[in-house]
Structure 1
């Protein structure tokens, strides 16, 4: 039994082979095809792919003009990339507390953290469970700040009947190897306006507008770069994995949700264990299945003795010296960090393995 799995469809393998045989491996027609497929799946007006979710988050910050002297509010319960991209932009990360029963950013704490220097908030749909986006968007609108969603865990998640990726101006996704939808490594930004999409597409490749850059008689592109850009584009190989894997994603996500529903029901009455509070009006991405347990070390030893893989995927990132080193006591984050642990949830988990996990947890620790 594995904790994570990497699933690549036969169609994805065939599409990658086609790209390799074509000799055109860089960004090209297959990237555009994948972006069009993502638009169809998410229902977002535009999607700009990147080579990682980290690149996507950094591009979003730079695109919004965020830099030195600015503050960006983020949760401590996330992967360190969410904080590092703020530093890469030259801005200062400010940590809002989380709800200790969900692991997601607390809107009330966000409101308290806003200052004259605040330019954006990055809510993280942690584990795939959507944040309270209505409240966060309302707070951001009132304060005149941007919302950049970190949906690295939440591809396919639904908030109040709307796909994550259609809820705010910029939403960043991850297609890293062990995510529910993979391109090996990769990311994307779901975008609501054509203007944003055009500029982000330029920024991901050195600021160059490929669609409007003429080629001279000697085969040279006449380039006049006027915006800051990076080498953040996706290539055709990664996009081919995406084109081939995306059709299978709904079934894979359905299996994850089925496993999640089993855990929620079967483990509801286990002494010393609580489920995180999940939104009744939404459907999570179920990339992770966190539980909150008493005596976590004892729980971990018991599961390992029964050959059940467990882990703590993300710990609070405000502890890192580069991000400030616990400058403030965040009670919600401290509680969650002390209790969270994760049990396997992926589409390759067999019914037999699922039953083993359930029985092992029910047996106590």
Structure 2
């Protein structure tokens, strides 16, 4: 296969404005902890409608920061979905807590509020929802649950920058919301992430944690003319650079165009796949503006004559970079060994995992490439 004909499942979109923005920082006096970081944070906060944004080195770092901000301690429980990237649950483990998995809805693969309520105990501290594939979860129900049981609601919205729930942007609907700026996401900083919140105390704790737990940062010490600082709590170096933030500022200006293109591709898929028996896109609920980080379908082997594993192989052999998002987190060896999790914990998620397939979707994808994906998909199944 010629690599130039390969269609990846996701890919960044970089133009000359992005390159110029980065080059301007490389020619400046600040490569990190400089003015671009604060500018990017303000731009993110303004975009989602939050009071505070703290930019960090990755979406995973952002999740870890959120757990630290909550003062999570060993023995505490946090409810998470099984269909997500492992970082959603890993961040709980980083603090010595226990991730408790609640099953998903079969039509959307979003975590079920009813299943979450069943898992709440006296040890539960928080709920981490995931806006899987770019579709916001049922924030109304999760807000009610969080208030009823005195829990913190955290949104892992790494798939959903720009998505809306009942007209409100993701980022303004939870106590803390986390974003990722990995190259396959809606905007990129290379690697990077952010935490947004309306809570000043939580924002300040995150800022301290991303900088080793230091009490006074460089800018504060310069302002008062002092060298002195103290490490008050153990933190990490989760800082993001001005180089990355310059790219992020430039990318954010194009987000609406990126979202429009993703939604156009999703619509093209919807129209092209509706007559293929056994290939079913996930349901999109009413009053949702879907950001389409992923375009996920379910493959019914009885109707297609091919199971997901075989279809994956055939698509890859023909240059289509399909992927699978995700194996239920608790089935990873680490979780099975540490917590004793096993098959049967979340049956809906386990059944979905055997069938789901992510088709390519990214802003630079051309209409003819979508047609090629669908054509290869049709050729790879045996419709009965």
Same fold (TM over 0.5): yes
How big is the shift at 1:198?
Answer: 2.5
Residue 299 of structure 1: aligned partner: 311
C-alpha change, 1:265 and 1:311, in structure 2 (3 Å) is same
Q: How does 1:61-80 map to 2 (within 5 A)?
A: 61-80=67-86
CA distance in 2 between counterparts of 1:165 and 1:216 reads 32
C-alpha distance after superposition, 1:139-179 (max 9, x if no partner): 11111111111111111111110110000110000001221
CA distance in 2 between counterparts of 1:313 and 1:205 reads 32
CA distance in 1 between counterparts of 2:331 and 2:379 reads 34
SS in 2 for 1:202: helix
Q: 2:321 aligns with which of 309, 314, 317?
A: 309
1:125 maps onto 2:140 in alignment: no
TM-score for the superposition, normalised by structure 2: 0.90
SS in 1 for 2:253: helix
How big is the shift at 1:283?
Answer: 1.1
CA distance in 2 between counterparts of 1:82 and 1:31 reads 25
Residue 360 of structure 1: aligned partner: 376
CA distance in 1 between counterparts of 2:223 and 2:293 reads 48
CA distance in 1 between counterparts of 2:186 and 2:361 reads 10
8 Å Cα contact 2:216/2:230 also seen in 1: no
Q: 1:281 aligns with which of 287, 295, 310?
A: 287
8 Å Cα contact 1:8/1:241 also seen in 2: no
Q: 1:257 aligns with which of 258, 263, 273?
A: 263
1:319 maps onto 2:331 in alignment: yes
Structure 1 residues without counterparts, runs of 5 or longer: none
8 Å Cα contact 1:83/1:323 also seen in 2: no
Structure 2 residues without counterparts, runs of 5 or longer: 1-6, 301-306
How big is the shift at 1:97?
Answer: 0.8
Q: 1:209 aligns with which of 216, 220, 230?
A: 216
1:97 maps onto 2:109 in alignment: no
Mean alpha-carbon deviation: is it higher for 181-190 or for 308-317?
A: 308-317
Residue 198 of structure 2: aligned partner: 192
Q: 2:56 aligns with which of 50, 56, 67?
A: 50
C-alpha change, 1:223 and 1:301, in structure 2 (3 Å) is closer
CA distance in 2 between counterparts of 1:56 and 1:103 reads 23
How big is the shift at 1:364?
Answer: 5.8
RMSD of aligned residue pairs (Cα, Å): 1.9
